[in-house]
Amino acid sequence: MTRAPRPADPSGTPLPPPVQRALYRANGGDADGFADCFAHDGTVNDWGREFRGRTEIRGWSEAEFTGKQVTLEVTGARTEGPTTTVSARVGGNGFNGPSDFAFTVDGDRITLMRITG
């Protein structure tokens, strides 16, 4: 079953392309595609736990994100410099509820995704 991605916030503000791709891949359950949205030395910071590099990010995603059939419904977004914070309603077989994801982007890749709330 394919879950529909939410590539922009409800006001229509476009998200940076790497963030759009990451949300699309996460909502599609694609751990490999999600990890490939990151720079080779990119990092996921999940409430202080850091997963660095695509291999670690893929493993984290399979265990705790895409592997839990995560769904991310974007409810808002704001960009300050290279960082876009996406507010989303999280669903799936893991954490459910509102959360914020701060994505730092460099070029066409994410260098950091920090789960902030």
pLDDT score at 2: 43
- State pTM to two decimals: 0.89
Residue found by looking up tokens 């984290």 in the block: 60
**Collapsing DSSP states into helix, strand and coil, what is residue 67?**
helix
Burial of 20 (0-12, 13-18, 19+ CB in 10 A): middle
pLDDT digit string, tens, across residues 46-77: 999 999 999 999 999 999 999 999 999 999 99
pLDDT digit string, tens, across residues 5-47: 445 556 566 899 999 999 999 999 999 999 999 999 999 999 9
Domains and CATH numbers, the chain: 17-115 (3.10.450.50)
| Confidence category of residue 3, pLDDT binned at 50, 70, 90 | very low
Identify which has the larger pLDDT, 13 or 103: 103
Cα(98)–Cα(58) distance, integer angstroms: 23
DSSP H helical ranges for 1-117? 17-27, 31-35, 53-64
pLDDT score at 10: 60
Residues β-bridged to residue 84: 79, 103
**Which candidate, 42, 47, 1, 2, places its Cα nearest to that of 25?**
2
